[in-house]
Amino acid sequence: MASTANPTRDDFAKLLDEQLGGADGGFEGRVVKGTITAIENGMAVIDVGLKSEGRVALREFARGEDDQTLKVGDEVEVFVDRVENSEGEAMLSRDRARREAAWDKLESEFGEGKRVEGRIFGRVKGGFTVDLDGAVAFLPGSQVDIRPVRDVTPLMDMPQPFQILKMDRRRGNIVVSRRAVLEETRAEQRSELIDRLTEGQVIDGVVKNITDYGAFVDLGGIDGLLHVTDMSYKRVNHPSEVIAIGDTVKVQIIRINADTQRISLGMKQLESDPWEGVAAKYPVGAKVSGVVTNITEYGAFVELEAGIEGLVHVSEMSWTKKNVHPGKIVSTSQEVEVVVLEVDSDKRRISLGLKQAQGNPWEEFADKHPVGSTVEGEVKNATEFGLFIGLPGDVDGMVHMSDIAWGISGEDALALHRKGEQVNAIVLDVDVEKERISLGMKQLEKGAPAAGGVSSGGGLKKNDVVTVTVLEVRDGGLEVQAGDDGATGFIKRSDLGRDRDEQRPDRFQTGQKLDAMVIGFDRSKKPNFSVKARQIAEEKQAVEQYGSSDSGASLGDILGEALKKQ
């Protein structure tokens, strides 16, 4: 048995086991330091102070150290898997030692929120594997870059920073992100760049992306939005009409939002403003030409020149076409003549009129067809109060139901005509401002007054007593004519006499002559006669001339005396 003064190797191992808690509980599963005692057949023989030495393949040192620098006597750290295998050797691992050391370091850096350096070395389902100096981490595909990356080959085996998102040492699970690092770096760069930019500054940029509402321009590490309305003073339907991806454009910084780090850009601000002096260039009442650029339900936009557009409201598009869609009157790209109605330079608005550039059909009609003239047209529509007649100049005139025919009710007169029928009528009145034309059809019937009689009543005056000839006997009264070729008029049934028996139209015959008084005129200046009014006037005159009934003479005596003198 060896003495304590000269301990053997077994004695030393026994003492070491006692100190470390036994061979099975002291070394296994730990990282220990050992000395290289030999290098042979691609293996490094390492003594870690156990009963036997262990072997580690030189390739395990290749990832972190250069195997050419390893030599006998070097001290290295290894992981003890087992104290002794079936061959009596210690089972050692340099990879496991590096991994354990890496985990210790990563846990510390993860707790402090630091970035870690690693290399992408493999591809797995849903992402990639990253070597974090011995520890293997998972890099999801969505965390590789800020934008999707189709080819990660240029990033493979290249040292680069990562951010640890999650780690579980017990399960050996680490999730990292390259995107988080890029976003943080980008945010830092954006802040630095924004600090160097000022509103109003003119800068060159490259168009990166185009959308329906504008384009994103790279200003050298930060993007700015160039809205479609700020690309040009003229109408731009889509940004692609002005710019294309990859174009280098000169823009002005309109606005910088320090909180959201958003930058608004403009191109038209670098051009001269066409709205300066627009009121003098396009005075109210001026007739100008332009091109229809856009059509809406409420009107059409007309471009007078590049950057200057005016609106023709739907109410100003046509004199005669009411309540129709503007697209049925004009079309896009059509060149039209318009009249300037209003200019508001502050609001950049010009009101235009399309119909004002054309002749007012109501004025033209009044010039060509004065009151009393005869016109021909088609019955366009029948309403409860009259007929609408289509007239020359694409205008309509109305025949009131009382002016359709003599001697019958308005309802019956309406029933005599149908839509599409060609009729003749006389112009009674033209109101240009209200866009109304009044027509009469009964005035053209046989015996009706001529054009001059319409306005003068055939020279008759109210209270005139004339001899009239019965033209027609009707239920409602008599159609009569003053003289042989004078104005025609009507005697209502109630005006045929003072007594009820005298008010029967059937007691008269066509061609019969009788005296009647003019009691008024209708809308068309046609006279209305009354036998009853004439009788009352004659009685009054006789009483005034021959004395009143107070003298004792009867009314019959007075009238008889008057008739004898006549």
Q: Which residues partner with 70 through β-bridges?
A: none
Check residue 517 and give its pLDDT.
92
Would you say the pTM of this structure is higher than 0.85? no
265 by Cβ neighbours in 10 Å (0-12 / 13-18 / 19+) ranks as buried
Give the span between the Cα atoms of 246 and 231, in whole angstroms. Answer: 16
Q: Mean pLDDT, to the nearest integer, of 58-71?
A: 62
CA 98 to chain CA mean position, Å: 64
Phi-psi category of residue 13: left, alpha or beta, with phi > 0 → left and psi -120 to 50 → alpha: alpha
Give the span between the Cα atoms of 268 and 230, in whole angstroms. Answer: 6
Check residue 90 and give its pLDDT.
67
445 by Cβ neighbours in 10 Å (0-12 / 13-18 / 19+) ranks as middle
- pLDDT, tens digit, for every residue of 148-187? 888 888 889 899 999 999 888 788 788 999 998 888 887 7
Are residues 12 and 27 in contact, defined by beta-carbon separation less than 8 angstroms? no
Using CA atoms, how far residue 367 sits from 10, 298, 396, 495, in Å, is 137, 33, 16, 40
Are residues 19 and 31 in contact, defined by beta-carbon separation less than 8 angstroms? no
Q: Is 307 or 238 the better-scoring residue by pLDDT?
A: 238
Residue 257 has pLDDT above 50, yes or no: yes
Element (H, E) at 180: helix 179-196
Phi/psi at 399 (5° precision)? -100, 110
pLDDT band for 539, please (50, 70, 90 cuts): confident
Lowest mean pLDDT among 25-29, 42-46, 512-516: 25-29
pLDDT band for 300, please (50, 70, 90 cuts): very high
Residue 296 has pLDDT above 80, yes or no: yes
Q: Mean pLDDT, to the nearest integer, of 483-508?
A: 86
Residue 89 has pLDDT above 70, yes or no: no
Lowest mean pLDDT among 75-89, 133-147, 240-254, 470-484: 75-89
Residue 349 has pLDDT above 80, yes or no: yes
Residue 482 has pLDDT above 60, yes or no: yes
Q: Mean pLDDT, to the nearest integer, of 200-226?
A: 89
For residue 230, what are its two tokens?
Answer: 């700020």
454 CB-near residues (< 8 Å, 6+ apart): 371, 372, 426, 428, 443, 524, 525, 526
Name all domains of the chain by residue range, CATH numbers in brackets: 9-98 (2.40.50.140), 113-183 (2.40.50.140), 197-270 (2.40.50.140), 283-356 (2.40.50.140), 361-444 (2.40.50.140), 457-545 (2.40.50.140)
Give the span between the Cα atoms of 533 and 90, in whole angstroms. Answer: 148
Number of H helices and E strands in the chain, helices first, is 11, 30
Give the span between the Cα atoms of 168 and 107, in whole angstroms. Answer: 9
Q: Which residues partner with 157 through β-bridges?
A: none
Check residue 16 and give its pLDDT.
55
For residue 44, what are its two tokens?
Answer: 């490094």
Residue 136 has pLDDT above 80, yes or no: yes
Q: Which residues partner with 41 through β-bridges?
A: none
Q: Mean pLDDT, to the nearest integer, of 71-89?
A: 69
CA 55 to chain CA mean position, Å: 78
Q: Is 142 or 51 the better-scoring residue by pLDDT?
A: 142
Check residue 552 and give its pLDDT.
47
Lowest mean pLDDT among 27-36, 220-229, 332-341: 27-36
pLDDT band for 86, please (50, 70, 90 cuts): low
Check residue 452 and give its pLDDT.
39
Phi-psi category of residue 126: left, alpha or beta, with phi > 0 → left and psi -120 to 50 → alpha: left
Are residues 480 and 467 in contact, defined by beta-carbon separation less than 8 angstroms? no
Phi/psi at 244 (5° precision)? -140, 155
Give the span between the Cα atoms of 293 and 295, in whole angstroms. Answer: 7
Task: Give the range with max mean pLDDT: 38-47, 270-279, 428-437.
Answer: 428-437
Give the span between the Cα atoms of 237 and 552, in whole angstroms. Answer: 102
Q: What is the mean pLDDT of the chain?
A: 81
Largest CA distance in the chain: 193
Are residues 530 and 539 in contact, defined by beta-carbon separation less than 8 angstroms? no
pLDDT band for 13, please (50, 70, 90 cuts): low
Check residue 551 and give its pLDDT.
46
Listed residue (388, 391, 374) closest to 419, CA to CA: 388
Q: Mean pLDDT, to the nearest integer, of 297-303?
A: 92
CA angle 208, 212, 216 (to 5 degrees): 25
Check residue 299 and give its pLDDT.
92
- pLDDT, tens digit, for every residue of 366-406? 888 888 889 999 999 888 888 999 998 888 899 998 888 87
Check residue 71 and give its pLDDT.
75
